[in-house]
Amino acid sequence: MFLLFGLKNGISLECFHSKKIPSQVKSKIRTLINGKNVTLSELGILDKQIGSLFSTSVQECINKNKLHKSNIGGIAISGQTIRHEVNKKNSFSMQIGDPNIIATETQLPIIYDFRNMHIALGGEGAPLVPEFHNELFYKKGSPRIILNLGGIANYTYVSNRKNLWGSDVGPGNALLDAYCQKFLDKPFDKDGRIASKGKIYKPELQKLLSNKFFKKSFPKSTGKELFNLSMLSRKFIKESSEDVLATLTEFTALCVANAIKQNNHKFDEIIICGGGGNNKFLLKRISNLIQRDAALSSNLGYNIQAIESMAFAWLGFKRLANQPLRIQLGKDKFNRGLLGSIAKSKQ
């Protein structure tokens, strides 16, 4: 997804464009994420293919919205994450989608590779968006939780201008979508309809909630290298699709609710963005567990699919302006630094 937005009078969404990734490329990405063997040649070729897809999407967005390149400061891309490992000695985050191709074909500066500098400065490479959420959603006297339900679920606690808190909390859509794709030949469980008919398989749910990730202190990050189908027991996978999806939905909802409770975050509103916002049953379970109705960012005028793209565009703007960002190292611990590298095809 790509977008461009204005910063003259604050943050505003100027346009939004989304392009589907071809199924063949999606399959290759899943192979990489699932840790299956691939050659360096296959990895290099996929990096170029995704770079070309990104470039095409940018050009389509520009043409569709009749934008003038002279008004575009640059294009910020998060890249396609294929591995995100946080450990004591050699944490890293790997994204593919060659920015040099995009820079050459668009003749615009490309800002990329935000996560590894975040790690170098003492962070975990994710989430990167809390400071942006603070900028966009702050409301004086009204604490908010901004919950992003992507493949991984993360949320930002927006309480005042000075405080900054954000963390991954567990899987968002990762397990739900992976199950649907592998066993039901569906991209996802639309509206959570299948899950809504099932019963929770409690032994598996307790096993999932006992994962070592949940014993780590906040803030923390994770990825699909942990939350994938390999963590599910064979016995559980053989249960009905309704019960499997009901259990996995409850798992995601509990990850969110438990994190809010553990961090004692008092809030007036919870605003949800990301693809998981389309899953009505998941939203219902989250609302029931936190005993509060959830609102979608769309209700505030921001497409639920656009928030993350807006965040990276904002990060790109900050990098081009050489404005350092706050890097969360732990509870009440921060560093400051510039995030993102810049690729240019012309001086």
Domains of the chain are: 2-122 (3.30.420.40), 143-300 (3.30.420.40)
Tens-digit pLDDT string for the chain (347 aa): 444 444 445 788 888 898 889 989 988 998 888 777 889 999 999 999 999 999 999 999 999 999 999 999 999 999 999 999 887 789 999 999 999 999 999 999 999 999 999 999 999 999 999 999 999 999 999 999 999 999 999 999 999 888 889 999 999 999 999 999 999 999 999 999 999 999 999 999 999 999 999 999 999 999 998 999 999 999 999 999 999 999 999 999 999 999 999 999 999 999 999 999 999 999 999 999 999 999 999 999 899 999 999 999 999 999 999 999 999 888 778 999 999 999 998 75
Name the DSSP letter for residue 94: E
Q: What is the pLDDT, as a whole number, of residue 145?
A: 98
Instruction: Enumerate the H helices of the chain as residue ranges.
Output: 23-33, 40-64, 99-106, 114-120, 130-137, 174-179, 202-209, 234-237, 241-262, 280-290, 307-320
Q: What is the pLDDT, as a whole number, of residue 347?
A: 57
Token pair 């490992």 is found at: 85
Q: What is the pLDDT, as a whole number, of residue 35?
A: 75
CA–CA separation, 245 and 240 (whole Å) = 9
Q: What is the pLDDT, as a whole number, of residue 346?
A: 73
Please tell me whether residue 269 adopts helix, strand or coil conformation: strand
Instruction: Determine if residue 98 is left, alpha or beta; phi over 0 gives left, psi from -120 to 50 gives alpha, anything else beta.
Output: beta
Residues 168/221, Cβ–Cβ less than 8 Å: yes
Q: Model-level pTM greater than 0.85? A: yes
Structure tokens at 269: 């509103």
